[in-house]
Structure 1
Amino acid sequence: MGFLSSIDFVLIGQLTMLAMVVIAGPAIVFLLAVRGGDL
């Protein structure tokens, strides 16, 4: 359990949220462009 206790779950959560935002940004723009929606 030493390995699990050394993991910073708050940091992992923040990195996960940051990754979601970074991925979702271009993905939303791409979907809008494919659907023909104007930005």
Structure 2
Amino acid sequence: MELLAALNLEPIFQLTFVALIMLAGPAVVFLLFLRGGDL
């Protein structure tokens, strides 16, 4: 069971990391837009 749990955690972490990157892009652009920064 421990080996199975370890194998299942890796893709979960990868998906979470990819999701954070996908959300961080628009979030940074939105914050710059709110601050009136030039893109």
Q: Above 0.5 in TM-score?
A: yes
CA drift of 1:16 comes to: 0.4
Going by fraction, where is helix more abundant, 1 or 2? 2
TM-score by length of 2: 0.79
Listed as ranges, the gaps of 5+ residues in structure 1 are none
Task: Report how many residues are paired.
Answer: 37
Listed as ranges, the gaps of 5+ residues in structure 2 are none
* Alignment match, 2:10: 10
TM-score by length of 1: 0.79
- Superposition misfits of 4+ residues, deviation over 2 angstroms: none
1:2-39 alpha-carbon deviations (Å, 9 max, x no partner): xx73x610000000000000001000000000100001
Aligned-pair identity in percent equals 56
